[in-house]
Amino acid sequence: MAEVKSGDSVKVHYTGKLANGEQFDSSIGREPLAFTVGAGMMIAGFDAAMPGMKVGDKKTINIAPKDGYGETDDAAIIEFPKEHVPADLKIEIGQQHTLTNEQGQPLPVVVKEIREDFIIFDANHFLAGKELIFDIELVEIEG
């Protein structure tokens, strides 16, 4: 039976959880996730777990932040002047918003703090700095 190697296109079912058991994503009930192993389409720890798997294999992997979405980056904390917020926009801690970076690209952020003159946004990926646990089942190797 064929084993996954770098460069193979594969399909997997997965469930992603945090160390506390909270589930953050799953393909169960949807189409399996398709990607090319080693092509940089997946976080490094997920990609690294694939070689050697055979169709039908299941495994649970733990991924450290450095092999997932990275550590949290203090440079991704943004002080945004309240004067630039539309008056009719209600801002609350925990809300998700989208800012635009210098290149005009969307930048997803979360409201972390509201101060007198500034809103503190966090542009880190919501899984940055977290250990991730994935249950993976290899469904198909497309070669």
Residues 41 and 92 in one domain: no
In the chain (143 residues long), the average pLDDT of successive 10-residue segments reads 94 97 96 96 96 98 96 95 89 93 91 95 95 98 82
**49 inside domain:** yes
Q: Are residues 90 and 109 located together in one domain of the fold?
A: yes
Which pLDDT belongs to residue 131?
97
Q: What is the C-alpha to C-alpha distance for residues 131 and 18, in angstroms, rounded to an integer?
A: 6
Q: Write out the residue range of the structural domain in which residue 133 sits.
A: 9-70+127-141
In this structure, is residue 55 part of a structural domain?
A: yes
Residue 1 forms part of a structural domain: no
CATH of the domain at 48: 3.10.50.40
Predicted local distance difference test score (pLDDT) of residue 143: 60
Based on the number of CB atoms within 10 Å of its own CB, is 66 exposed (0-12), middle (13-18) or buried (19 or more)?
exposed
In a domain, 4, yes or no: no
Number of domains the chain is built from: 2
Give the pLDDT score at 85: 87
Cβ(121)–Cβ(112) under 8 Å? yes
Residue 44 in any domain: the answer is: yes
Q: What is the pLDDT of residue 102?
A: 86
